[in-house]
Structure 1
Amino acid sequence: MTTTQTPATKRYLSFRRRRAARGLDETGDRGIVSAFDRRKPGVRVGIGGVHAFLVLGLVIAGLGPILWLAKSAVTPTQDTLTQPMALWPNGIDWANLSTAWNDIHIDQYFFNTVVIALGAWFFQLFVATTAGYALSVLRPKYAPILNGLVLATLFIPAVVLLVPLYLTIVNPPLFGRDFSLLNNYLAVWLPMAANAFNILIVKRFFDNLPREVFEAARTDGAGPFRMFWSIVLPMSKPILGVVSVFAVIAAWKDFLWPLLVLPNPAVQPLSVRLPAVQSQTELDVFLAALAISTIIPIAMFLVFQGVFLRSAGLGGAVKG
């Protein structure tokens, strides 16, 4: 049986055929340059040149300073001052690295920084996952109020809390007047643990987890702790990786707060000690110390880049 096409249908089909011939998609959407225009040699060359320029610019802006620092770390001071962009005009001085490691005691400050970063990572991950689990999965009656209070803390400038927080560290409540957390790594770990941003992004990730799994676990008799440890955490590896990278890098580069609560140089991290020794150190040795201090952040990004980039949109929850 044949069907008779109306004039309107014929016009629509003709319109669709013309769009298909021009390379437009089925939905009729197109970008700045259509698929038809992309087939033109001149347009292809122009777009390729723009892409190459953007990629080259990003590489120079992102990797340029790091590569220059790596080069200058093994370059004599005179060469860095007279020919800063030359590649070792008078040879490589590997002794800069050993001098920075031993004479400036970078090894000790490096260890202090690792301890601070690991502690900050543990406490931030612990608080973010447990708080996010309580607000998203357990959902007590007052959860909306708590969520609003956590969100409200993001609008408070950090400098406003600096003095009250310092006074709390100097004289913690419930411990007496003679007790102080100064020169104690807990003074850095505990304030970093109360990170509202981490709590909110973890809660948002937990909100997207399939509720059917939680109902099945409750039916099988799993309690809140068992469900958190055996179900929620294994399903949340992407967001745990994101929070881990944020926590470690934030602790690694923090300067002001460790300077205030860790006045003893023996327990200070690299971010505090390197500016303090700059005026007493040769330029080449100081640049070598800076290069050593960047090893952990770069290594963490290379190790976790896949997890971090996949989870950037926080949309990686398992579909039910």
Structure 2
Amino acid sequence: MSAPLTTSPIREGMRGFLSRSRSLSLSKGGRRKANSIDDMAERTIISASERRRTGNRIGMSITHVFLFVTLVIAGLGPILWLAKSAITPTQDTIQQPFALWPNGMDWANLSTAWNDIHIDQYFFNTIVIALGAWFTQLFIATTAGYALSVLRPRYAPILNALVLATLFIPGIVLLVPLYLTIVNPPFLPDGANLLNNYLAVWLPMGANAFNILLVKRFFDNLPREVFEAAKTDGAGPFRLFWSVVLPMSKPILGVVSVFAIIAAWKDYLWPMLVLPNPVVQPLSVRLPAVQSQTELDVFLAALAIATLIPIAMFLLFQSVFLRSAGLGGAVKG
């Protein structure tokens, strides 16, 4: 009967030496890789040593200030001029368009635009149209993107190709058939139509292929491990969509929301066609219609009021564009 095998001290020592050597080489390789990454991150057009020179530093500072001032003037200049002209008399705006209130301010322009042009009514109509378009676009984009990216049925590539193909069709080509569909919609009694109905604006805006592909691309980058863990815990498709996917998708939801509301706020041609009754028309349709009958200062005040919502949307969602996709709350029940 043979004796049990035992490990010799020499073999144990060699094994420990090899393991320590391997860990040391790996740590050195990791440090070299990290140093190379840091070096690549620090490489710019102007090196750190050249940036410390007085002439280069002054030139870069002047360039930065010039670019900043140029961007501010190009981006905020028209908005600031409109805000100034909204409370400036007509003669001052025509004679001295860039002067800062040479004959004082006329705050009555805002109240006149609000009451006489009925900006309040058209403002409310625009908000209703924008909210409905926002809901339909967000609902269809998220559900379609979820089906194509997460559920992934067998025919998902075909659907994805069809959605992508619609981007190559000019919108003006679809104008006539879409209008005929609104005039004589399917599944409704003969003689019924959706003219002067906000559904005529909401439903076509909901079918936005760009938003669907945008959301699908975002869903493709979400970690599949979280989905598998949720399915293991017994989450169904609806639970997975509502409690896992949507909480992880706040950045893309904010982007789609901004796109949807601004597109609905500035749309002119389609609301003019399907909403011929002035009572239900938005600001984008009514303001050009009343321009010839309104004083310039009052009309500019009305335009300034119409820009409030887009500016508020930008200020509200500006952090969404810069914030990376947060995974907080993805597994909360």
Given the two structures, how large is their TM-score scaled by the length of structure 1? 0.88
Candidates 44, 60, 64, aligned match of 1:31: 44
Measure, in 1, the Cα distance between the counterparts of 2:215 and 2:41.
Answer: 38
The alignment-based identity, stated in percent, is 80
Rg larger for: 2
Residue equivalent to 1:294: 307
Deviation at 1:172, TM superposition (A): 0.7
- 2:199 aligns with one of 182, 186, 198: 186
Misfit runs of 4+, over 6 Å: none
Decide whether aligned partners of structure 1 residues 157 and 233 sit closer, same or farther in structure 2, where only a CA change above 3 A counts. same
Structure 1 residue 26, shift from structure 2 partner: 2.9
CA distance in 1, matches of 2:69, 2:327: 36
Alignment equivalent of 2:72, drawn from 55, 59, 68: 59
Partner of residue 84, structure 1: 97
Matched residue, 2:172:
159
After superposition, the Cα gap between the structure-2 partners of 1:256 and 1:79, relative to the gap in structure 1 and judged at 3 Å, is same
Q: Cα offset for 1:317?
A: 6.1
Structure 1: tracts of 5 or more residues without a match: 1-24
| 2:156 corresponding residue in structure 1 | 143
- Displacement of 1:29 after TM fit? 7.7
**What are the Cα deviations for residues 39-77 of structure 1, in whole angstroms up to 9, with x where unaligned?**
111111111111111100000000011011001101110
Output the aligned Cα RMSD: 1.7
Note the C-alpha offset of 1:28: 9.7
Q: Which residue of 2 aligns with 1:42?
A: 55
Amino acid at match of 1:277: V
Do the aligned partners of 1:209 and 1:317 also contact (CA within 8 Å) in 2? no
Provide the C-alpha distance between the structure 1 equivalents of 2:193 and 2:41, rounded to a whole number of angstroms. 67
Q: Is 2:126 the partner of 1:126? A: no
Q: Give CA-to-partner distance per residue, 1:99-155, whole Å, 9 cap, x none.
A: 000000000000000000000000000000000010111110000110111111111
Is residue 2:120 matched to residue 1:107? Answer: yes
Give secondary structure in 2 for the equivalent of 1:275: helix
1:35 deviates by: 2.0
> What one-letter code is carried by the residue in structure 1 that aligns with 2:120?
D
Task: Show CA shifts across 1:214-250 (max 9, x none).
Answer: 1122122211111111111111111111100000000
Q: CA 1:214 to 1:61, structure 2 compared with 1: closer, same or farther past 3 Å? A: same
Q: Contact (CA 8 Å) 1:76, 1:93: kept in 2 or not? A: yes
1:32 to partner: Cα distance: 2.8
1:122–1:28 distance in 2 versus 1, CA, 3 Å: closer
Alignment partners' CA distance in 1, 2:322 and 2:209: 22
Residue 221 of structure 1 aligns with an amino acid whose one-letter code is: G
C-alpha distance in structure 1 between counterparts of 2:41 and 2:250, whole Å: 39
Q: Number of matched residues? A: 293
Structure 1 residue identity aligned to 2:142: T
SS in 2 for 1:87: coil
**Measured at CA, do residues 109 and 27 of structure 1 come closer, stay the same or move farther in structure 2, by a change above 3 Å?**
closer
Q: TM-score, normalised by structure 2?
A: 0.85
Q: Does 1:196 align with 2:209?
A: yes
**In structure 1, C-alpha distance between the alignment counterparts of 2:108 and 2:174, rounded to whole Å:** 44
Which letter maps to 1:297?
A: P
Q: Which runs of 5+ in 2 are unaligned?
A: 1-37
Indicate whether 1:245 and 2:258 are aligned.
yes
Which residue of 2 is the match for residue 273 of structure 1?
Answer: 286
In structure 1, give the amino acid aligned to 2:103.
Answer: N
